[in-house]
Structure 1
Amino acid sequence: MAKKGEHNYSATVVWTGNSGEGTKNYRAFSRDHEISCGEKPIIAGSADPAFLGDSSRYNPEELLLSSLSACHMLWYLHLCADAGITVSSYEDNAEGRMIETKSGGGCFDEVILKPIVSIGEEDDSELAQSLHKKAHSLCFIANSVNFEVACEPEIRCGN
């Protein structure tokens, strides 16, 4: 049982890419897998196509980027609601960069969130802008990574 203020999560990842030869060699298997969390719909995953993955499936790098973007958005919407700012639309075209290392691994070295937010004409656009900084400081996912997550928001009034 979780302690107060503690939240536990679980996910199941099942490799579905055995074409009959297992991992006999690097090119003998598919990187396809399925991600599930309880009874929610299954997410079809694979590796990035650069690593022999299926481009029609989500890869871990895209899911990390999406998690950062979604967490920031959810905090931002919460803060705007608390501040009396009416957000009518929010879209983020986030970008991230992963660098391969000499050892064959890799790591993200930056992510840039680029939210475009529409607020009411009477709302305080400066406050709306500043709430992105607060959302970033509260974001569970951004606080869990070891690389820079920048935010370049655009606020549109009266849309």
Structure 2
Amino acid sequence: MSRQHDYRVTVRWTGDTGAGYRDYERGHDVVAEGKPVLKGSADPSFRGTPERWNPEELLVASLSECHMLTFLALCAQAGIGVTGYIDAASGVMRETPGNGGRFTEVVLRPVVTVADAAAIERAEGLHKQAHDTCFIANSVNFPVRHEPTTACARLSPTTS
């Protein structure tokens, strides 16, 4: 049985300065009912405000979050105790002639800590399944690569 999920956000531009294209502010708010306002802007390369989130960062964050949440669910289902997870994700976007551009890849680098050393290999194997079932990764048209590291709190990390 197929289920549909609907998501609603409002993006509200807050940058009218009355000065035209070259001087308008890129600031905006991303609003969803019952949640804190997310302050957005363009990437600083496109005259944005560096202190605000830009769409490119949010895309990389979405891929990282989706992978993490899917991976943690798979670990829970497999009885693997995860005690830590951090991901230093990065993405590459290339501009094209005519003011266009596209992401060419995102690399996720999750560092996972498990409670039991015997679970390291099983946990590492779940990254592929997490990628294959991540809703966001399945929605993009560029490669999302993974460079996971898994360790037990009592052992040194291993890279798969």
TM over 0.5: yes
Q: Is the 8 A contact 2:72 2:82 kept in 1?
A: yes
TM-score normalised to structure 2 length: 0.92
Residue of structure 2 aligned with 1:43, choices 38, 60, 73: 38
Distance 2:134 2:79 in 1: 20
Distance 1:57 1:67 in 2: 16
Residue of structure 1 aligned with 2:116, choices 121, 127, 132: 121
Partner of 1:50: helix, strand, or coil? helix
**Aligned Cα root-mean-square deviation (Å):** 1.3
Structure 1 unaligned segments of length 5 or more: list them.
none
The residue number in structure 2 matching 1:14 is 12
Distance 1:158 1:60 in 2: 35
Distance 1:18 1:143 in 2: 36
The residue number in structure 1 matching 2:101 is 106
What is the aligned-residue identity percentage?
51
Residue of structure 1 aligned with 2:83, choices 64, 88, 98: 88
1:101-122 per-residue CA deviation (whole Å, 9 max, x = no partner) reads: 1121110000000000000134
Q: Is the 8 A contact 2:117 2:151 kept in 1?
A: no
1:47-90 per-residue CA deviation (whole Å, 9 max, x = no partner) reads: 00000000000000000000000000000000001111100000
Deviation at 1:125, TM superposition (A): 1.0
Q: Is the 8 A contact 2:81 2:116 kept in 1?
A: no
Structure 2 unaligned segments of length 5 or more: list them.
155-160
Distance 2:103 2:75 in 1: 29
Deviation at 1:151, TM superposition (A): 0.6
Distance 2:112 2:61 in 1: 17
Structure 1 stretches of 4+ moved >3 Å: none
Q: Is the 8 A contact 2:87 2:111 kept in 1?
A: yes
Letter in 2 for 1:65: V
The residue number in structure 2 matching 1:68 is 63
Distance 2:132 2:152 in 1: 24
Deviation at 1:4, TM superposition (A): 5.3
Deviation at 1:28, TM superposition (A): 1.8
Partner of 1:124: helix, strand, or coil? helix
TM-score normalised to structure 1 length: 0.93
Distance 1:91 1:73 in 2: 9
The residue number in structure 2 matching 1:148 is 143
Distance 2:34 2:74 in 1: 30
